[in-house]
């Protein structure tokens, strides 16, 4: 199974909301490939949720996607933080990229993630793997209030109850060990079954 952190960095739709102040810092494919073996890359991830009127999580959103070899896999919102971009801007940009412009996410007031997920090329160092790179991801639970229309390579967003989201079946479909991240997300909001 291919485990990859999505990184559609050079899509023209995908530019940061706030332009980097000095140097755009966009990397070519070749440069990124080069840097990936040298440095940990900084990512943001979001577990999209629906909440009720009291803020309690009722559903978890998962992206369905065909991977490089045509298998269907599930994932969450995920992407790289660019040079000059704030974590908050990156989070907003990737949510819009993956859930569409009508998702109306409620970004958290606190910049502290519910978890720091460390992805290594080789398994066993942490629960998370990414064969392409060493990535460190700041992961947030983000309530969305609008309509999600996945863009780019995602096929659809599936909404599940917390109980459905942590089944072994779903867990096996989540790439790179993100089944554990979804459980940690639900635990952080008191919704782990």
Closest CA to 119 of 65, 40, 62, 66: 40
Residue 119 touching its own copies (CB under 8 A): no
Residue 126 touching its own copies (CB under 8 A): yes
Beta carbon of residue 155, minimum distance to its own copies (angstroms, whole number): 26
Closest CA to 90 of 159, 21, 42: 42
Binding mask 4-23 for its own copies (x = CB under 8 A): --------------x-xxxx
Residue 115 touching its own copies (CB under 8 A): yes
The number of angstroms, rounded, from the C-alpha of 143 to the middle of its chain's C-alpha atoms is 14
Residue 187 touching its own copies (CB under 8 A): yes
CA–CA distances in Å: residue 33 to residues 18, 41, 138: 25, 11, 22
Please, which residue, 65 or 139, has the CB nearer to its own copies?
139
Beta carbon of residue 111, minimum distance to its own copies (angstroms, whole number): 5
Residue 143 touching its own copies (CB under 8 A): yes
Helix (H, G, I), strand (E, B) or coil at 66: strand
Binding mask 38-77 for its own copies (x = CB under 8 A): xxxxx------x-x-xxxxx--------------------
Of 45, 61, 65, 85, which one interacts with its own copies (CB under 8 A)? 85
Torsion angle of the four alpha carbons 128, 132, 136, 139, in this order, in degrees rounded to the nearest 10: -60
């Amino acid at each position: 199974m291919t485990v990859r952190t999505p990184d559609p960095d050079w899509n023209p739709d995908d530019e940061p909301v706030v332009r980097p102040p000095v140097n755009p810092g966009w990397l070519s494919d070749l440069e990124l490939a080069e840097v990936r073996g040298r440095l940990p890359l900084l990512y943001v991830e979001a577990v999209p949720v629906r909440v009720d009127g009291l803020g309690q999580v009722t559903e978890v959103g998962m992206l369905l996607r065909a991977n490089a070899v045509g298998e269907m896999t599930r994932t969450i919102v995920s992407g790289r933080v660019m040079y000059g971009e704030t974590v908050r801007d990156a989070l907003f940009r990737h949510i819009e990229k993956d859930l569409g412009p009508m998702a109306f996410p409620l970004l958290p007031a606190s910049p502290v993630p519910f978890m720091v997920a460390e992805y290594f090329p080789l398994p066993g160092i942490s629960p998370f793997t990414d064969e392409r790179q060493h990535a460190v991801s700041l992961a947030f639970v983000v309530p969305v209030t609008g309509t999600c229309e996945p863009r780019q390579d995602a096929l659809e967003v599936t909404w599940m109850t917390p109980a459905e989201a942590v089944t072994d079946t779903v867990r096996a479909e989540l790439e790179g060990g993100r089944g554990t991240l979804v459980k940690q997300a639900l635990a952080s909001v008191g919704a782990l079954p």
